[in-house]
Amino acid sequence: MDTRRTLLVDAFAAEPLAGNAAGVVPEADGLTADQMRAIARELAVSETAFLLPSETADRRLRYFSPEQEVDLCGHATVAAHAHLREAGAIDEGEHTIETNVGVLGVEVESDGSIWMTQEMPRVERVEVDYERLGNALGIDPAALRDVGADLPVAVASTGLPFLIVPVNFLQNLGSADPNDGAVEAIADEHGVAGIYAFTFDALGADSTLHARAFAPSVGIAEDPATGTASGACGAYLREVGAFEDFPEEMVFEQGHFVDRPSEVRVRVAGDVRVGGHAVTSLDGRLAVPPAEEDDIVEA
């Protein structure tokens, strides 16, 4: 039976069993989409990155959640490149990846941090029913209206769109009890992968904000660290003029309410970049199910 080397790598974390675990399959050439999806279901983490040859970049990455293929995933990209660096397959410096949203840049820095350049940002302010949104998130709607005048709800994307929702205080964000069906319905109406709620009332003195991300429509009730959403939120903060002097680098906390504390670093200048460290927590081989034959029956 075909087996493939398969790893779990904890991204946006400095130690194992923190941050956001991503599956990494370093040699995925020859696997069908159904096989990739089956592997992602077996690993049962939010996303698994499959590394493939590319004619337009250093390598091709495909991402699968347990439910479906995802066009782009920041934490799985960081995890994959942290593994490649650890294995001696890549050095410090600039690299490129081919994804479903195009060719993107990845930089490996001397301290081991991995930085991913995301797509050009798109930010669109949207009108929302705060009562409905609050009820879907399990947050008092007043906690959303309180900051809504200065920080509007918006759809933001740097490759994967999220609904960005500001919340006034960490106490309100931390007590969120989302209704997955209601969150999924709102996400579908706005054409986004999920809802990224944040507050400037953070735990760490050096943190810019604290965030929670809910994406049940792609099989993720709550994500411990979301690189694509962090980049989108960074672009949103620039668009709405959240800071008088925009910081060169921001630190976004996430994952504390699912016991997977993480730290995503975000830089927004000419482009949007997200970065962080990652550590391997599991390294082994996984048996791959045979590729299914098509369902065409010939007489």
CA distance 79 to 75: 6
Which of 42, 47, 86, 127 is labelled catalytic?
47
47 is catalytic: yes
Do the beta carbons of residue 65 and residue 220 sit within 8 Å? yes
| Residues annotated catalytic, as ranges | 47
